[in-house]
């Protein structure tokens, strides 16, 4: 167990600077952080709110796997879904029946998301937030919406049986569980749907936690940046809507971020992956130069670098190499792309391979194809950071 | 006669040439007609140049027959590939950007969603409006005759035209990258750039440019605009129309369109169904009224074929025109939803009834502003922009309740619709996020990784 504990300590220590644990606890949300790179995928951090709700002490939780909070009536299907999300390194939001230390079950909204390292796109941690699902008691069968401000009348769901003590559930909920001594029957077989309010609280919590992690990892001490969202390293992090917008663009293109070290790829279209033969995780987080090879003219690469430096578009023919080492002539166009702030947020690179039909089924010339992708990307990125509260 | 003074927006590089009778190359129009066969050397859209020109042509397939499942529009899974027309438009527009034809790069302008219930969108654009002397605009006549001495779109240079957009009789839509313009058989309809864009992709759709139609709706032209929205198949490309008296700048028939990938406030407003025309297999043509929105307006949806929807709106517009009611039209959701918004702001402005505070921001509430997208000239106005301000401005635009009631009654007659008896049938959307309008991932999720 000793070496394991050492690894667990390191898990946080190498990534985040001192003070991160205190800062996380200050958030007041209930959550766990786990490390998939350590055998058994153990918990490396549990917030105080979490420990309070579940009734455990820190030592009883750190180093264990999250399944310890599941029990006989936890839906197997939901567990499998979570497992699949972990495997695919995707986020998930799902209602789940968990058990406290004293064996009492309760429904909660479980929102999990992967935390990526910016430098290489690997998942370094998983973050799981728990928001207890509360319902009006009594005859109402359907989970109706709660009072949206979260205060005031709230009964205890008949399906929940509480311990004798009154518990505080997370920040902002300010609710007390009511003793329900008359009814000990556990009606927990039916899934409990979370309200919009609860979903929002979960999402907000995730966002806040990620901000703290990002803040504490940006220091010199660790030198590594983590982020759960903006890196879009799995293609999901830029936000669902922009991924949908990008998904409509059928041509080969990538988006690179000039504000990150070595201007890595942060989005790659399916067509790009097909053209180059790489899998998505093999390209995200890398600079495009990996496409160049022995016979690539360095002057061309220099030309590209110059244009990028001057924030100007450029068009080149460059010899590139696929994963299987075969080469192709890449009719490449690069253009700066601005977001709602009006400043350059990304560069888009559009690839047309001369080995495929250039005048395509589309009827647009290759040069026009370049521009249509640039236009579509510009429209999509224009609304990034347009919201008042986005970073 | 009522007039207001405003600085006209420059939509073409050929527009502000001082004396309207001259043109950019300094060739007088009399000489131009003499050299008809060879063009006037300006390569414009007039009868002098078009016959010897070739322009790209997108010829869409007109679909007048109800489809099998009575769906006018293809089912929208939200992830279908970008349509060809859309790609064409984007490519051509970006190309003109590279050529430096726009007065400024609109993507360099800061823009934001104002916090609030509806999320009004504000843009800081200090370069859009010239430091020119304002011109006088007559605002009390929605129908005014075409004046060839004033700027019109035949004077636009062909480099500002992206492509022709017309219907064909074929079984599918076709694209010709270079097609000779045969003005004997058809008056071409064109899509041109707006050199003072409000947003990326801002274009002008000019039906039958050589016919020099004044700015007024007719059935054929409206149908063209609706097909444009439909063929583009992008819920974030919306088409708009301003009548004279509702801040149209140029009295030559044109529609506008541009891209913005957020939901417009007007698309979030709840509605209540008030009129309908029953259709086959439930394809009713439905008119609703906007609720809980500062401007009173009608929303048209449904119909068996696109023409039904188009004609209902067009007939309503024609009624308003003939009764001198200025109005704006927004075609949203790829043509599925059409907002008709009668307004009276200009009249109030001319009569001195608009508050100074609102006037000072110099926002003319045309279709985009009414829909919730506002371009502000001054940094101070942009920084202070609030939902309150937007609401205040737009409230001045709206017809009063009484006037609107009479408009509703006349629209139902003009468009051949039955008023629904059950006016207590409040079909309100419960929450603005439930709106059927194109959804960006809602605000709360924007910062979060995608939910599985």
Instruction: Determine the Cα angle at B217 with ends B294 and B85, to 5°.
Output: 90
pLDDT (mean) for A301-320: 95
CATH superfamily of domain region A1-135+193-227: PAS domain (3.30.450.20)
Alpha helices in chain A (DSSP H): 2-13, 20-26, 48-54, 58-61, 76-88, 196-217, 240-247, 270-276, 280-283, 298-309, 366-382
CB atoms within 10 A of CB B355: 11
Q: Find tokens 């180093």 and name the residue.
A: A63
Cβ of B450 within 8 Å of Cβ of A340? The answer is: no
pLDDT (mean) for A11-26: 82
Q: What percent of chain A has pLDDT over 90?
A: 43
CB atoms within 10 A of CB A351: 24
Task: List per-block mean pLDDT (blocks of 10 residues) for chain B, which spans 452 residues.
Answer: 82 70 37 44 81 88 66 63 95 97 95 93 86 74 92 93 93 90 84 96 97 97 97 95 94 97 94 89 88 97 92 96 96 96 89 86 92 95 94 93 93 88 45 38 36 32
Distance of CA B10 to the CA centre of its chain: 16
Q: Which residues of B touch A247 (CB under 8 A)?
A: 79
**A171-217 confidence digits (pLDDT tens):** 323 233 322 323 333 455 566 778 878 888 888 888 788 878 877 77
Q: Of the residues B129, B202, B252, B254, which is catalytic?
A: B254
Measured between alpha carbons, how far is B234 from B232 in angstroms, rounded to an integer? 6
DSSP state of B206: E
Cβ of B447 within 8 Å of Cβ of A207? The answer is: yes
Cβ of B448 within 8 Å of Cβ of A389? The answer is: no
> Minimum mean pLDDT among A38-47, A324-333, B377-386: which range?
A38-47
pLDDT (mean) for A94-115: 91
Cβ of A241 within 8 Å of Cβ of B439? The answer is: yes
pLDDT for residue A177: 34
Q: Say whether residue A372 is in contact with chain B using an 8 A CB cutoff.
A: yes
pLDDT for residue A46: 94
Q: Which of A315, A346, A348, A314 is nearest to A330 (CA)?
A: A315
Residue in A145, A386, A390, A391 to test binding to B, most B beta-carbons within 10 Å: A386
pLDDT for residue B33: 41
Q: How far is A261 from chain B (nearest CA, A)?
A: 22
Q: What is the DSSP code string of B259-301? A: E--S--HHHHS-EEEEEEE--GGG--EEEEEE-SSSS--EEEE
Cβ of B80 within 8 Å of Cβ of A248? The answer is: yes
Residue in B265, B440, B449, B452 to test binding to A, most A beta-carbons within 10 Å: B449
Residue in A240, A358, A374 to test binding to B, most B beta-carbons within 10 Å: A240
Q: How far is B441 from chain A (nearest CA, A)?
A: 5
Q: Which residues of B touch A252 (CB under 8 A)?
A: none
Alpha-carbon torsion angle A136, A141, A143, A145, nearest 10: -60
Q: How far is B225 from chain A (nearest CA, A)?
A: 21
pLDDT for residue A200: 81
Measured between alpha carbons, how far is B74 from B316 in angstroms, rounded to an integer? 26
Measured between alpha carbons, how far is B250 from A194 in angstroms, rounded to an integer? 53
Cβ of B450 within 8 Å of Cβ of A244? The answer is: no
Measured between alpha carbons, how far is A55 from A32 in angstroms, rounded to an integer? 14
pLDDT for residue A80: 85
Q: Is B443 a catalytic residue?
A: no
State the complex-level ipTM: 0.87
Measured between alpha carbons, how far is B19 from A286 in angstroms, rounded to an integer? 57
pLDDT (mean) for A106-130: 84
Q: Find tokens 């008896």 and name the residue.
A: B421
Structural domain spans, chain A: 1-135+193-227, 249-355+362-386
- Note whether A148 and A130 are within 8 A (CB): no
Q: Say whether residue A344 is in contact with chain B using an 8 A CB cutoff.
A: no
pLDDT for residue A343: 94
Cβ of A386 within 8 Å of Cβ of B445? The answer is: no
In terms of CA atoms, which chain A residue is nearest residue B431? A196
Measured between alpha carbons, how far is A38 from A97 in angstroms, rounded to an integer? 26
In terms of CA atoms, which chain A residue is nearest residue B107? A342
Measured between alpha carbons, how far is B335 from A110 in angstroms, rounded to an integer? 39
User: Domain A249-355+362-386 maps to which CATH number in 3.30.450.20, 3.30.565.10, 3.30.1360.180, 3.40.50.300?
Assistant: 3.30.450.20
Query: Is this prediction's pTM over 0.80?
Result: no
Q: Residue A24 to residues A115, A127, A209, B257, B447: CA-CA distances in angstroms?
A: 15, 12, 7, 47, 18
Q: How far is A251 from chain B (nearest CA, A)?
A: 10
Measured between alpha carbons, how far is B26 from B15 in angstroms, rounded to an integer? 13
Cβ of A229 within 8 Å of Cβ of B447? The answer is: yes
Measured between alpha carbons, how far is A143 from A109 in angstroms, rounded to an integer? 14
> Minimum mean pLDDT among A228-237, A244-253, B257-266: which range?
A228-237
Q: How far is B333 from chain A (nearest CA, A)?
A: 15
Q: Which of B394, B358, B362 is nearest to B378 (CA)?
A: B362
Same fold, A1-135+193-227 and A249-355+362-386: yes
Looking at per-residue confidence, does A173 or A272 come out higher?
A272
pLDDT for residue A154: 34
Domains and CATH numbers, chain B: 3-13+48-431 (3.30.428.70)
pLDDT for residue A214: 75
In terms of CA atoms, which chain A residue is nearest residue B122? A386
Cβ of B111 within 8 Å of Cβ of A113? The answer is: no
Looking at per-residue confidence, does A89 or A232 come out higher?
A89
Measured between alpha carbons, how far is B395 from B414 in angstroms, rounded to an integer? 26
Q: Which of B150, B158, B237, B253 is nearest to B198 (CA)?
A: B237
- Residue-averaged pLDDT of chain A: 77
pLDDT for residue B264: 95
Q: What is the DSSP code string of A15-81? A: TS-TTHHHHHHHT---EEEE-TTSTT--EEEE-HHHHHHHT--HHHHTTS-GGGG--TTS-HHHHHH
Question: Do β-strands A226-227 and A105-117 pair in parallel, antiparallel, or remain unpaired?
Answer: antiparallel
């Amino acid at each position: 167990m000793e070496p394991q504990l050492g690894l667990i300590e390191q898990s946080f220590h190498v990534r985040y600077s001192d003070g991160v644990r205190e800062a996380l606890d200050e958030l007041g949300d209930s959550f766990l952080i786990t490390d998939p790179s350590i055998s058994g995928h153990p918990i490396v951090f549990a917030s105080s709110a979490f420990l309070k709700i579940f009734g455990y002490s820190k030592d009883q939780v750190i180093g264990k796997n999250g399944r310890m909070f599941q029990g006989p009536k936890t839906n197997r299907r939901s567990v499998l879904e979570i497992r699949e999300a972990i495997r695919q390194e995707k986020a998930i939001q799902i209602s789940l029946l968990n058990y406290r230390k004293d064996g009492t079950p309760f429904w909660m909204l479980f929102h999990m998301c992967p935390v990526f390292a910016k430098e290489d796109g690997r998942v370094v941690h998983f973050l799981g937030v728990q928001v207890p699902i509360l319902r009006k008691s009594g005859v109402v069968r359907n989970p109706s919406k709660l009072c949206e401000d979260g205060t005031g009348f709230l009964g205890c769901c008949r399906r929940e049986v509480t311990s004798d003590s009154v518990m505080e559930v997370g920040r902002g909920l300010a609710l007390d569980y009511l003793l329900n001594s008359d009814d000990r029957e556990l009606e927990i077989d039916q899934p409990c749907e979370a309200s919009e309010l609860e979903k929002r609280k979960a999402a907000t919590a995730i966002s806040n936690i990620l901000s703290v992690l990002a803040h504490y990892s940006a220091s010199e001490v660790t030198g590594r940046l983590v982020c759960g969202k903006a890196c879009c390293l799995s293609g999901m992090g830029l936000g669902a809507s922009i991924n949908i917008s990008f998904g409509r663009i059928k041509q080969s293109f990538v988006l690179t971020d000039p504000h990150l070290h070595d201007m890595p790829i942060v989005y790659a279209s399916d067509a790009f992956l097909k053209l180059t033969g790489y899998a998505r995780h093999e390209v995200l987080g890398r600079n495009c130069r990996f496409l160049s090879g022995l016979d690539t003219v360095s002057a061309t690469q220099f030309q590209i670098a110059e244009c990028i430096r001057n924030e100007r578009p450029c068009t080149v023919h460059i010899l590139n190499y696929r994963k299987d080492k075969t080469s192709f002539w890449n009719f490449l166009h690069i253009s700066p792309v601005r977001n709602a702030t009006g400043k350059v947020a990304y560069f888009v690179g559009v690839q047309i391979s001369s080995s495929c039909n250039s005048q395509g089924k589309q009827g647009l010339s290759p040069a026009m194809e370049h521009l249509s992708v640039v236009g579509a990307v510009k429209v999509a990125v224009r609304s990034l950071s347009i919201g008042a509260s986005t970073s | 006669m009522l007039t207001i003074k405003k600085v006209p927006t420059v939509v073409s590089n050929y527009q502000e040439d001082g004396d309207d009778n001259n043109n950019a190359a300094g060739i007088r129009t009399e000489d131009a007609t003499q050299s008809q066969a060879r063009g006037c050397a300006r390569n414009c859209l007039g009868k002098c140049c078009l016959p010897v020109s070739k322009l790209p042509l997108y010829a869409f397939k007109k679909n007048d027959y109800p489809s099998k499942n009575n769906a006018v529009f293809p089912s929208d899974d939200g992830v279908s590939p970008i349509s060809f027309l859309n790609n064409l438009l984007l490519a051509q527009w970006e190309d003109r950007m590279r050529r430096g034809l726009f007065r400024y790069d609109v993507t360099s302008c800061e823009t934001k969603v104002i916090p609030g219930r509806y999320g009004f969108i504000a843009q800081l654009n200090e370069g859009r409006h010239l430091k020119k002397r304002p011109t006088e605009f007559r605002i009390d006549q929605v129908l005014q005759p075409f004046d060839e001495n004033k700027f019109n779109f035949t004077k636009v240079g062909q480099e500002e035209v992206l492509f022709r957009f017309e219907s064909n009789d074929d079984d599918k839509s076709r694209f010709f990258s270079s097609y000779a313009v045969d003005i004997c058989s058809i008056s071409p309809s064109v899509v041109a750039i707006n050199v003072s864009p409000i947003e990326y992709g801002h274009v002008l759709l000019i039906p039958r440019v050589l016919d020099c139609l004044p700015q007024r709706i007719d059935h054929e032209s409206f149908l063209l605009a609706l097909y444009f929205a439909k063929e583009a198949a992008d819920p974030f490309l919306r088409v708009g129309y301003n009548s004279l008296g509702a801040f149209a700048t140029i009295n030559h028939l044109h529609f506008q369109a541009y891209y913005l990938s957020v939901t417009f406030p007007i698309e979030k407003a709840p509605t209540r169904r008030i009129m309908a025309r029953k259709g086959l297999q439930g394809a009713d043509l439905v008119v609703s009224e906007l609720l809980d929105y500062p401007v009173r307006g009608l929303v048209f949806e449904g119909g068996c074929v696109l023409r039904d929807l188009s004609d209902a709106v067009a007939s309503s517009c024609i009624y308003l025109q003939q009764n001198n009611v200025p109005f704006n039209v927004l075609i949203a959701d790829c043509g599925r939803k059409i907002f008709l918004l009668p307004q009276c702001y200009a009249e109030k402005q001319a009569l001195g009834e608009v508050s100074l505070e609102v006037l000072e921001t110099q926002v003319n509430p045309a279709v985009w502003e009414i829909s919730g997208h506002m371009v502000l000239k001054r940094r101070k106005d942009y920084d202070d922009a609030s939902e309150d301000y937007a609401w205040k401005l737009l409230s001045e635009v709206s017809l009063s309740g009484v006037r609107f009631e009479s408009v509703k009654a006349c629209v139902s007659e003009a468009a051949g619709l039955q008023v629904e008896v059950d006016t207590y049938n409040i079909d309100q959307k419960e929450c603005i996020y439930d709106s059927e309008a194109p959804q960006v991932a809602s605000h709360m999720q924007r910062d979060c990784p995608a939910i599985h």
